[in-house]
Amino acid sequence: MRDIQEKISNASYWIFVVGLGGFAVFYMIAPISIAILMSFTDGATLRFPPEGYSLRWYEALLDSARSEPIHTAAMNSLSIAGLTTLGALMVAVPAAFGMARLGQRTATTLEPILLAPLVLPSLVYSLAALLVISNLGSGPSYGYVVAGHIVVFAPLMYRTSLAVAQQVDPSQEEASTTLGASRLRTFLRVTLPALMPGALAGGFLVFMQSMDNVSVTLFLADPKTTVLPLRMFAMIEESLDPRVAAISGLLITATIVLLIIVQRLIPFVRGRRT
């Protein structure tokens, strides 16, 4: 009797794990596949599954005459994300390096300041930033969008870099200086390469997040600074333009390619240390 009970109980466990777990994995990934399939639709509506397949929406998307606003928005997004990544790199990697060297107690006290943007809603922050900007007699602009993105996303870079910085062995640096290398040379040749994997992973995250950001851009961008996610948002709200599916297809492909590159690069960069 007890045996049967236990069998039933264990069976229900496996249904929970394999059945519901399998469904949940499918649930996570299915919408991505649907977006990709949808981008090859032949029709003008978003019927799924599509009745026929073609590249017409990709052609429409790449046609610079018909899709000029989308191209402008994409270029803006790319340049904002590029500058944001660069800015985050410049403040957050040194910060991670520095914090790893501070005493445990100081570091735990100061850390929440550096990580605050990760937990506070960025929508509220961008509203606050706009309030300050307009009270200073200025208005939304491209520059403020970049600055806002750097502030909000630098913590991502900080977090990935810190994980690496904590593992950098100070004795390696000591060895380098003892052997006669200058402090600058030691920093450039020993410390910086060791920090690279964290910076690379962080750079990837910051770039993707900045490309996708709406809440900061919404408040801080002037009408001229249109960005891709807001342009897509407008296209979805206005007419459910199937070109959105084509943009989605391209973005997903770019994500996969970048993910593979970063995964390949991280062990490679790490390998240089040893």
Partner 1 sequence: MQKTTGTIFAAPMLMMMLLFFLAPLGVLAVFSVLGPDGEVSLANYRTFLADDFAVGVLFDTILLGAKVVATVTLLGLPIALLYWHSGPGLRGLILIATLLPMLTSNVVRTFAWIVILGRNGPISQSLVELGLSSRPISLLFTETGLVMALTQIELPLLVLPLIAVLSQADRRLIDASEVLGAGRWRSFLTVLLPMLTPAIFAGWVLVFASATTSYVTQSVIGGARLIYMPRFVYREVGILFQWPMAAAISFLLLISTGIVMLGLTMLARHRRLAAYA
Site for partner 1 in 210-269 (CB under 8 A): 211-212, 214-215, 218-219, 229, 232-233, 236-237, 240, 244-245, 247-248, 251-252, 255-256, 259
Q: Which of residues 144-203 bind partner 1 (CB under 8 A)?
A: 147, 150-152, 154, 158, 170
Contact flag: residue 70 with partner 1 (CB under 8 A): no
Reading the block at residue 82, the tokens are 């590029």
d(CA 133, CA 129): 6
Among 116, 192, 257, 261, indicate the residue that binds partner 1 (CB under 8 A).
116
Residues in the chain: 274
Cis peptide before 49 (omega within 30 of 0): yes
17 interacts with partner 1 by CB under 8 A: yes
CB of 179 to partner 1, least distance (A): 19
CB 274, min distance to partner 1, A: 22
- Shortest distance, CB of residue 249 to partner 1, whole angstroms? 9
Which of 44, 46, 175, 257 contacts partner 1 by CB under 8 A? 46
Mark residue 226 as left, alpha or beta (left: phi above 0; alpha: psi -120 to 50; beta: remaining): beta
Which helix (H) or strand (E) covers residue 120, if one does?
none
Is 78 near partner 1 (CB under 8 A)? no
Q: Which residues contact 99 (CB under 8 A, 6 or more apart)?
A: 107, 110, 111, 114, 162, 165
* The pair of three-digit structure tokens given for residue 158, joined into one six-digit string: 């900080």
Give how many residues touch partner 1 by CB under 8 A.
89
The residues, any chain, with a CB within 8 Å of residue 147's CB and separated by 6 or more, are 87
Residue bearing tokens 């992973």: 201
Our CB check for partner 1 shows the closer of 27 and 268 to be: 27
